[in-house]
Amino acid sequence: MGRAKKVVLAYSGGVDTSVCIPYLKQEWGVEEVITLAADLGQGEELEPIREKALKSGASESLVVDVKDSFIKDYAFSAIQANALYENRYPLGTALARPLIAKLLVEVAQQYGADAIAHGCTGKGNDQVRFDVSTAALNPNLKILAPAREWGMSREETIAYGERFGIPAPVKKSSPYSIDKNLLGRSIEAGVLEDPAIEPPEEIYEMTKAISDTPNEPEYIEIGFTKGVPTSINGQPKNPVELIEALNLVAGNHGIGRIDMIENRLVGIKSREIYESPAMVVLINAHRDLESLTLTADVTQYKRGIEQTYTQIVYNGLWYSPLKVALDAFIQKTQERVSGTVRLKLFKGNATIVGRHSENSLYTPDLATYSSEDQFDHKAAEGFIYVWGLPTRVWSQNGK
Ligand code: ARG
């Protein structure tokens, strides 16, 4: 008896996920492996990937375009939450995993499979995100993670694959481990493992080096409707178009590079480089529009919610009850977050230079220092007396 009969495997076309196919069948007695490749805008040709799975022994090879849902249902909600893990990483990889898990579960149910599988190792965050998301969506499915158990080195993995007709990577494979989708690229390993070494320019694809960016600034205006970005320079854009367009403009100005030492859920510190031009610009702009349209207490309280939201998304709890409850709070706060934000893109910076909203709480008559001032200055005295009373009493009694 094998560990499972029919398995749906998350498939990327790489050596590891390809080797998973014969491994599941030969070593773990799986009868049938169905592969699933999600098109998240990683810009790779998916037809060759589809064929490679079949050649590697999959009985069925599915490719599903989920770009639209990825942006609408995952990225936009992270923007509304101003989600930056450890104040910097816009979660490009972390947001994709619960969506892939949802697809795996749906396909497993559709094909009557008894397990899902993925090619994650035991050291990363992604295994947690796949496993916990799957358990949340269908606790009856088994989860198989061959690469977590097989203990093969890179060379051994390639050699194992070759026995089953899986070609070794043609070009000398990149020393980096890269995850890529519409929201950006996550790059680790190779020389990057030394946190003291500057990342070589060759690792970047979406962002220009500052020395190559335009010498003139470029102004753009982003429109938001209820916290969701909907237009660029007055032109309505659908979700995928909007992200693609912003990746190009902002990347051209070298915006969105992040070099950080990050704390993984499994306790390991890792050095990760991100390039995420659109997300960096959108989160900045969105946070700014909130500062114009939300009251002080909601803005400040929401910061704590955002921290928690970011943490649980990073830590694989997308489908958890806490996440659902935080979503309800965040959604409620977004009702008036509509308007436009103007940014100046220049030499790696997206500087906010103006904002406008029909729902603006900024009140010129109260803010002005001119003769138009409507603020009741005398009222301040009484307010300060009451506000400072506990401190005054404390001081008077201090011996
Ligand atoms: N550290 C990031 C995360 O946990 C990205 C991991 C992506 N993998 C990679 N090969 N760089 O979300």
- 196 lies in the same domain as 294: yes
- 155 lies in the same domain as 232: no
Query: How far is the centre of ligand 1, averaged over its atoms, from the C-alpha of 363 (Å)?
Result: 44
> CATH number of the domain that 375 lies in?
1.20.5
State residue 224's pLDDT score.
Answer: 98
- 69 lies in the same domain as 131: yes
Out of 135, 163, 191, a domain closes at 163
What ligand 1 atom has the least distance to the C-alpha of 270?
1
Is residue 395 pLDDT above 90, yes or no? yes
Report whether 294 contacts 286 (CB < 8 A): no
Residue 172 lies in a domain: no
> CATH number of the domain that 31 lies in?
3.40.50.620
Residue-wise pLDDT for 291-320, tens only, equals: 999 999 999 999 999 999 999 999 999 999
Q: What is the SS3 assignment for the chain?
A: CCCCCEEEEECCCCHHHHHHHHHHHHCCCCCEEEEEEEECCCCCCHHHHHHHHHHCCCCEEEEEECHHHHHHHHHHHHHHCCCCECCCECCHHHHHHHHHHHHHHHHHHHHCCCEEECCCCCCCCHHHHHHHHHHHHCCCCEEECHHHHCCCCHHHHHHHHHHCCCCCCCCCCCCCEEEEECCEEEEECHHHHCCCCCCCHHHCCCCCCHHHCCCCCEEEEEEEECCEEEEECCEECCHHHHHHHHHHHHHHCCCCEEEEEEECCCCCEEEEEEECHHHHHHHHHHHHHHHHHCCHHHHHHHHHHHHHHHHHHHCCCCCCHHHHHHHHHHHHHHHHCCEEEEEEEECCEEEEEEEECCCCCCCHHHHCCCCCCCCCHHHHHHHHHHHCHHHHHHHHCCC
The average pLDDT across 267-274 equals: 97
State residue 170's pLDDT score.
Answer: 66
Which residue did the predictor score with more confidence, 398 or 136?
A: 136
Which of 9-13, 147-151, 174-178, 347-351 is the least confident region?
174-178
Q: Which two tokens stand for residue 97?
A: 């995993």
Residue 168 lies in a domain: no
State residue 59's pLDDT score.
Answer: 97
State residue 1's pLDDT score.
Answer: 65
Catalytic position from the list 12, 69, 97, 288: 97
The average pLDDT across 368-380 equals: 90
**Is residue 68 annotated as a catalytic residue, yes or no?**
no
- 350 lies in the same domain as 268: yes
Over pLDDT 90: what percentage of the chain?
91
State residue 175's pLDDT score.
Answer: 86
- 235 lies in the same domain as 291: yes
Query: How far is the centre of ligand 1, averaged over its atoms, from the C-alpha of 169 (Å)?
Result: 21
- 141 lies in the same domain as 32: yes
Is residue 283 pLDDT above 70, yes or no? yes
State residue 43's pLDDT score.
Answer: 86
Q: Can you say whether residue 94 is alpha, beta or left, with left for phi > 0 and alpha for psi between -120 and 50 degrees?
A: alpha
> CATH number of the domain that 244 lies in?
3.90.1260.10
Report whether 210 contacts 60 (CB < 8 A): no
| Total count of domains within the chain | 3
Out of 163, 193, 224, a domain closes at 163
State residue 291's pLDDT score.
Answer: 98
State residue 174's pLDDT score.
Answer: 78
**Is residue 16 annotated as a catalytic residue, yes or no?**
yes
What ligand 1 atom has the least distance to the C-alpha of 85?
12
User: Which residue, by CA, sits nearest to atom 8 of ligand 1?
Assistant: 179
> What rounded mean pLDDT belongs to the chain?
96
User: Which residue, by CA, sits nearest to atom 2 of ligand 1?
Assistant: 93
Q: What confidence category does residue 168 fall into, taking pLDDT thresholds of 50, 70 and 90?
A: confident
Residue-wise pLDDT for 109-125, tens only, equals: 999 999 999 999 999 99
CA 51, CA 203: separation in Å to the nearest integer?
A: 28
The average pLDDT across 69-84 equals: 98
Query: pTM of the predicted model, to two decimals?
Result: 0.95
Catalytic position from the list 50, 59, 177, 291: 177
- Ligand 1: which of 188, 268, 273 to mutate, judged by most atoms within 8 Å of the beta carbon? 188
**Is residue 174 annotated as a catalytic residue, yes or no?**
no
Residue 303 lies in a domain: yes
Residue 306: how many other CB atoms lie within 10 Å: 19
Report whether 108 contacts 138 (CB < 8 A): yes
Pocket-forming residues, ligand 1, beta carbon under 6 Å: 93-94, 125, 177-179, 186-188, 262, 272
Give me the domain span that covers residue 229. Answer: 177-356
- 348 lies in the same domain as 371: no
- 143 lies in the same domain as 182: no
Q: How many CA atoms lie within 13 A of 122 on its CB side?
A: 7
Is residue 362 pLDDT above 80, yes or no? yes
- 152 lies in the same domain as 16: yes
CA distances from residue 82 to 89, 90, 245, 290, 348 in whole angstroms, order as listed: 11, 8, 20, 10, 20
Query: How far is the centre of ligand 1, averaged over its atoms, from the C-alpha of 228 (Å)?
Result: 25
State residue 173's pLDDT score.
Answer: 67
Name the nearest CA neighbour of 40 among 3, 5, 68, 6.
68
- 212 lies in the same domain as 287: yes
The average pLDDT across 350-373 equals: 94
What ligand 1 atom has the least distance to the C-alpha of 93?
12
Is residue 194 pLDDT above 90, yes or no? yes
Catalytic position from the list 56, 69, 77, 126: 126
The average pLDDT across 275-280 equals: 98
Residue 171 lies in a domain: no
**Is residue 212 annotated as a catalytic residue, yes or no?**
no
Residue-wise pLDDT for 214-244, tens only, equals: 999 999 999 999 999 999 999 999 999 999 9
Residue-wise pLDDT for 338-359, tens only, equals: 999 999 999 999 999 999 999 9
What ligand 1 atom has the least distance to the C-alpha of 178?
10
Which of 2-6, 69-73, 268-272 is the least confident region?
2-6
Q: Which residues lie below 8 Å from residue 163, measured CB to CB, with a gap of 6+? A: 22
The average pLDDT across 372-398 equals: 93
State residue 167's pLDDT score.
Answer: 86
State residue 172's pLDDT score.
Answer: 63
Matching residue, tokens 């220009």: 208
- 198 lies in the same domain as 119: no
Residue 1 lies in a domain: no
- 192 lies in the same domain as 340: yes
